[in-house]
Every structure is written in C-alpha cells, then in structure tokens.
Amino acid sequence: MTREAAVSVTSELSPWAGRILRLPGVYGPQADSSLLAAAMGREGVGAGMDVLDVCTGSGALALHAARLGARVTAVDISRRAVASARLNASLARLPVRVLRGDLLSVVPDRSFDVLVSNPPYVPSASARLPRRGARRAWDAGVDGRALVDRICDAAPGALRPGGMLLMVHSGFSGPEETVGRLVRAGLSASVSERVAIPFGPVMRGRLPWLRERGVVPAGADREELVIIRARKD
C-alpha cells in the first residue's frame, strides 16, 4: 500500500491580487504587499515595461504587474513559493515567468525597467537565515537587513537607464540606511511613503526581544512600513 503525504493549500481573496493559492510556509499578500501594489500603480508600472519581482512569495505582486500590462519575471529561492507563484499565474492565465534562485543571481544578464521587492525584513535573534519553514519568509538577521542590503547592492546593475526600484520594508529595519546605501550605489533614492499599522503576529511574538534591544520603544503598539523608491539616472 502506498502512502501519499497531503499538503494543504491556503486560498485567499485579495481586492487587488484576486484569488491567491499558497503552499504552507509561503508568504501571502498582507499590508506590506498592498502598500507596494498601490505604489506600483502610482508610479505608472504598466504596458511595455519589463518588471522583475524579487522574493515573489505567492506571486501576488508579479500578477498585479502583469495585470497592469507589464512583462514580468518573478524570482524566489523557496521551492514552495515558486510552485505557488507558478500555480497562481496559471490559474489567472497571466504570462508571468517564475524562476527559482537566490535574489538577482538567477537573471545575471538581464536588465529591467522596474524592480519590485517585498523581501524578508523582520529582525531575528539569529544572524543565520532559516533554510526552510515559514520563518524563511520573514527572518532577515539581527538587524532585518540581510536581504535588503543585497538587493540594494544588486539593483543598479539590474536596472536600465531611467529604471526604478520599489521596495517595501519595516521602519524598524533602517529606512535611512537603505536610502543611503542606494545613493552610494549610484541611484537617486528616498522614502516615498510611510504607513503605520498594528503589530502583526510575528512582531508581537518578538516584542520582548525587540524592546530589550532597543529596536521597539516601550509602549509602542504599531509598526511603520516604508516604500523605498530609487531611480537610475
């Protein structure tokens, strides 16, 4: 007799992403994804543009870019994320190319008009990034910048002249450092939007540690999300 392991699939409906399916451990669209999707619309992402979605997770932002008319490539290092994004693109009948790889290393010879990313950015007690499990979708080292810094460093080489980076991360992960790093890399950069939201379950679970380290002030009950906008002149 053969035994088959049942893998549950979560289904959720987003007002901007539509129906999204995801395997366990894959990050689904939340407030940060919605904030970035709105920024894509304001910045005119659309027809005729080549868009790269780095750390695509369920593929929600990649699908949003495709619906806006862009030609989209999506990347994630997680096998389950890649499978989820491919499934969602197929179900939505959108021509999104989904690749598995470590950030931009999987597209070394390509350039894009727009690079969007909602990377892992939550500070964690360990500098070692998880290699599996749900924490892989949000743990980002002790300062929350393990992936953010690498994307900042790689973005100039992946953007065409006039190209744009749109990235979302927490205000607890050093927005000013992100802007400075992008400027030093040769891009013009700024924080284009700030939105405060209540702490989610991951942040609530880490509040004692985050307050002990001085990252979150005592009594604070909200997290600021920021959109980083950078352009290659």
Question: pLDDT tens, 71-127?
Answer: 999 999 999 999 999 999 999 999 999 999 999 999 998 999 999 999 999 999 888
Q: Do 75 and 99 meet the contact criterion of CB atoms below 8 Å apart?
A: yes
pLDDT at 210: 93
Tell me: domain 26-231, CATH 3.40.50.12780, correct? Answer: no
Query: 93 is written with which tokens?
Result: 């009948």
Interstrand relation of 159-170 and 222-231 (parallel, antiparallel or unpaired): antiparallel
pLDDT at 134: 86
> Within 13 Å and on the Cβ side, how many CA atoms surround 165?
35
Q: Do 137 and 185 meet the contact criterion of CB atoms below 8 Å apart?
A: no
* Helix/strand/coil (H/E/C) assignment for every residue in the chain: CCCCCCCCCEEEEECCCEEEEECCCCCCCCHHHHHHHHHHHHCCCCCCCEEEEECCCCCHHHHHHHHCCCEEEEEECCHHHHHHHHHHHHHHCCCEEEEECCHHHHCCCCCEEEEEECCCCECCCCCCCCCCCHHHHCECCCCCCHHHHHHHHHHHHHEEEEEEEEEEEEHHHCHHHHHHHHHHCCCEEEEEEEEEEECCHHHHHHHHHHHHCCCCCCCCCEEEEEEEEEECC
pLDDT at 7: 66
User: Residue holding tokens 């979302």?
Assistant: 168
pLDDT at 4: 39
Count of residues in the chain: 233
For the chain, what is the radius of gyration of the CA atoms? Answer: 17
Q: How far apart are CA 24 and CA 31, in angstroms?
A: 19
Over the chain (233 residues), what is each successive 10-residue block's mean pLDDT? 57 89 93 97 97 97 97 97 97 97 94 98 91 89 96 97 98 96 98 96 92 91 96 96
Residue of 143, 150, 171, 183 whose CA lies nearest to 35: 171
